Structure 1
Amino acid sequence: MNTSLYSFFLLTLFSSTMITLSSNHWLLAWIGLELNTLAMIPLIASPHHPRATEATTKYFMVQTTASAVILLAGAITAWQTGQWGLSQPGSATKTLLISALLLKLGIAPAHFWYPEILQGTTMTTALIISTWQKMAPLALLYMTLDTLPTNLLLMLGLTSIIVGSWVGLNQTQLRKLMAYSSIGHMGWLLMALAMNPKLATLTFIIYLLMTTTMFIMLINTMTKTTMDMGTIWPHSPTQASLIMLTLLSLGGLPPLTGFSPKWLIIKDLTLNHLAPLATLTALMSLPALYFYVRLAYFTTLTTPPITQSTTFLWRLKHTTNLMLTPITMLTMFMTPLTATLYLTT
């Protein structure tokens, strides 16, 4: 894609998200979501491959359906209450609103489109879908949180964690695996949202850091499958080590950053007399930890036979990503700042 066009679509993507984030009106929020979808479609279709075209069609159908349901919910609310305010959805529109936002976020049980679309596009576009595209629907979820049933959010969160953990076990394609990882993390986010919105903000920030770090390193090393992970070491020993630590952080292994939100969410569930749910949540996240550890094993401990021509390949690569160093440090070593971040978010 032409650089100018690419920049234009990215600017539209940013602007449309800002419209939704700053709006307190159903119609403005809907306009922001629609502009967001229209800007995302050319980015998904840019590889000009049949699989990319299929992913674009699926993304368009899913997102427009969800946006139409949100507009319908807003119209019903305006008809019932006489106002278009986001913070006061009508009683009849809560189910419509939750269904539409679940579909937009790719949270189970409305997650089936998400792995397929990530698999059909490039790693860079998959990064945008997995991070930036979550912001606008989550903002609407935050704004309407007071009227949403807590028990429903907790059950949806647990469902998402189960789906993300168990279905991710079978994946060999890294984009699909990252999609199920995102589904599982969104489940943790829903649980945090039901308990404590401040904790949900911290959880989302840490999710953004970990997912962005992982995708950038996958883009740099050009790995697409689990078998490719074993070939990273000859090309970049440093990035192979960083990928291993990032995967363990995604799995929530202490003392890495990914442990902090899970620890705080389980603590809040226990304090709210939901110890059985906290225990079940922790147990259901173990399969996800298994596939992260398995990937880390492929990356650092399972390497193909190294010949003389591949031994020093890492010396030939001089391109560096300036963004990678700070976000990698935050992905791994932010746990000591947990208390400060928890109290200030």
Structure 2
Amino acid sequence: MPTMALLMITFGITFSTMTVITANHWLMAWLGLELNMISILPLITKQKHPRSTEAATKYFLTQATASSIMLFSSTLNAWQTGTWDITQLNNELSCILMISALAMKMGAAPLHFWLPEVLQGTTLNVALLITTWQKLAPITLLYMISNHMQMETTLLIGTLSILIGGWGGINQTQLRKMMAYSSIAHLGWTMTAISIAPNIALLNIIIYMIISTPVFLLLATTSTKTLQTTTTIWSFSPAAATLLTFLLLSMAALPPLAGFTPKLLIMDKMIMHKLTPAATALALFSLLSLIFYLRTTYLMGSTIPPTTTQTTALWRLKTNHNQLMTALAPSALFNITIMPALMV
């Protein structure tokens, strides 16, 4: 891709997200989300392959539908209350429609159907962008209207997302689809907490982004796309395999790693709000996600000497893994040390 085109796309994605984050008016927020969608489409279609075209089409149709629902919701609220202010979403029907539209934009269940297919049709770097940066704008809008949300609605979406995210990830051998279902499950925890503890919900999604970013970068650098190829990582980069193991275990919310911290805080808040049965159900549903994380880490560790690999090593480009490990060292340190620090 030409440098000028890449700069324009980067500016569009960044500027549109900043527009939504700083918006006070629903039309400005809608405009920012539309610009955000248009800016990322060229990145999805950069590969000259039918799957990338299919992924871009699914992404466009889903985002356009969600934007239409969002515009209808804000118009209905303005008709009933006389204001376009984002923080004044007082109409109950408008609030439910807005939550549904933003959940569809992020890929939360039961409106998650597009996310695994889109990620499978793109590169790992674009998949990283969709599962992290593209969630900032909708999450910010949810945070701004959190005072008007009904707890039952967000709890239902969150529970379905955790259940479907864990159940769907078990059946996957493609790492991009597995990470898509992982994103759905983590988004479920955020949706569960957004109405009862918005700050903790924001902390949860930020920690997920910090952990998932090096995971995608490691997978992209080592050309790892399936579970089978994870067995060859240790043979040419033990440091990458070790770091990836810790990051995946942290995403699985295994204590005392960083990913366990927001889950613990969310369950604590749910128990304080007399939602102990729901918190117990969410903890049990999250065990489904733990299964495919542990399966991936087991496959990576199954070829550590003296055990030899049982699969044919694929041809790979030579990359400088030392530079990559140096760049990802702060993330690894954050991932390992944040939980003991909070416990103190």
Segments of structure 2 that go 5 or more residues without pairing to the other structure are: none
The equivalent of 2:80 in structure 1 is 80
Q: Does 1:232 align with 2:236?
A: no
How far is the alpha carbon of 1:319 from its aligned partner? 5.7
Matched, 1:144 2:145: yes
Q: Any idea what the Cα deviations from partners look like across 1:102-125, whole Å, max 9, x if unmatched? A: 110100000000000000000000
TM-fit CA distance, 1:4: 2.2
1:320 and 2:296 correspond: no
CA distance in 2, matches of 1:221, 1:316: 8
Once structures 1 and 2 are overlaid, which stretch shifts more, 22-31 or 187-196?
A: 187-196
Number of the residue aligned with 1:52: 52
Tell me the TM-score normalized by structure 2: 0.93
Verify: 1:104 aligned to 2:105, yes or no. Answer: yes
Name the CA shift for 1:176/1:316 in 2 (closer, same or farther; >3 Å).
closer
Distance 2:15 2:327 in 1: 22
- Give the conservation status (yes or no) of the 8 Å contact 2:200–2:266: yes
Unaligned runs of 5+ in 1: 341-345
Q: Is the 8 A contact 1:216 1:324 kept in 2?
A: no
Which residue identity is paired with 2:169?
G
Query: How big is the shift at 1:329?
Result: 1.7
Letter in 2 for 1:154: L
Aligned 8 A contact 1:235 1:314 in 2: no
The aligned counterpart of 2:161 is 160
> TM-score normalised to the size of structure 1?
0.93
1:334 aligns with 2:338: yes
Change (3 A) 1:96 1:181: same
| 1:343 alignment counterpart | none
Between the aligned partners of 1:29 and 1:167, the Cα distance in structure 2 is 32
2: CA distance, partners of 1:327 / 1:175: 21
What residue number does 1:11 align with? 11
Deviations 1:80-117 (A, max 9, x none): 22221111222331222111111101000000000000
Counterparts of 1:102-251 in structure 2, within 5 Å, are 102-251=103-252
Does the 8 Å contact 2:234/2:303 carry over to 1? no
User: What's the CA shift string for 1:245-294, capped at 9, x where partnerless?
Assistant: 11110101111111111111111111222111111111111111111011
Cα distance change of structure 1 residues 223 and 318 upon mapping to structure 2, 3 Å threshold: closer
Tell me if structure 2 keeps the 8 A contact 1:237–1:314.
Answer: no
Task: From the superposition, tell whether residues 120 and 206 of structure 1 become closer, same or farther in structure 2 (CA, over 3 Å).
Answer: same
Report the count of equivalent residues.
336
**SS at structure 1 position matched to 2:194:** helix
Structure 2 matches for 1:293-312, cutoff 5 A? Answer: 293-302=294-303, 305=308
Deviation of 1:306 (Å): 6.1
Q: Residues 339, 31 of structure 1: CA spacing in aligned structure 2 closer, same or farther, 3 A cutoff?
A: farther
In the alignment, which residue of structure 2 is the partner of 1:288?
A: 289
Deviation at residue 79 of structure 1 after TM alignment: 1.8
Q: Which residue is 1:254 aligned to?
A: 255
Question: How far apart, CA to CA, are the structure 1 residues paired with 2:319 and 2:142?
Answer: 48
Percent of aligned pairs with the same residue? 44
Question: Secondary structure of 1:320's partner?
Answer: helix
User: Contact 1:73 / 1:93 at 8 angstroms: preserved in 2?
Assistant: yes
Which one-letter code corresponds to 1:327 in the other structure?
Answer: S
Cα-Cα RMSD: 2.0
1:232 to 1:31, Cα distance in 2 relative to 1, 3 A: same
Indicate the larger mover: 30-39 or 261-270: 261-270
The structure-2 alpha-carbon separation of the partners of 1:57 and 1:324, relative to structure 1 and needing over 3 Å to count, comes to same
* Pair 1:26 & 2:29 matched: no
Q: Secondary structure, in 3 states, of the residue corresponding to 2:75?
A: helix
1:332 Cα deviation from its structure 2 partner: 2.5
Structure 1 distance, partners of 2:241, 2:87, is: 46
Tell me the CA shift for residue 302 of structure 1: 3.7
8 Å Cα contact 1:58/1:117 also seen in 2: yes
Map residues 270-285 of structure 1 onto 2, 5 A cutoff: 270-285=271-286
Alpha-carbon separation, structure 2, partners of 1:95 and 1:316: 48
- Report the Cα distance in structure 1 between the residues aligned to 2:93 and 2:194, rounded to whole angstroms: 22
- Matches of 2:124 and 2:321, distance apart in 1: 21
